[in-house]
Amino acid sequence: MAQLIAILMTEKRTEEGERFGYIDLFDPERRERVGAPDFDDTKFMTETEARKLAEERGWSFRIG
């Protein structure tokens, strides 16, 4: 099974200049969006938080 890709969907930045947005998941093997299981899509997070979440769950990480 291919590793899921967590994409931080964002064009926004915090006052400190860090990107923030929400996580979307993509399955490259099936070439489809799979949402974000057991994760609230409406929860915005910074790039740092998103990278940490991806690392904890074993996802690859990209900025979208």
Region 28-54: mean pLDDT is 81
pLDDT for the residue 28:
86
CA–CA separation, 49 vs 12, rounded Å? 15
CA–CA separation, 23 vs 53, rounded Å? 9
Confirm if 36 and 18 have CB atoms less than 8 A apart. Answer: no
Q: Which tops the pLDDT comparison, 42 or 25? A: 25
pTM for this model (two decimals): 0.79
Burial class of 51 by CB neighbour count within 10 A (0 to 12, 13 to 18, 19+): middle
pLDDT for the residue 22:
87
Whether residue 45 has pLDDT greater than 80: yes
pLDDT for the residue 31:
83
- The mean of the pLDDT values for the chain is 85
Q: Kindly report the number of other CB atoms within 10 A of residue 2's CB atom.
A: 11
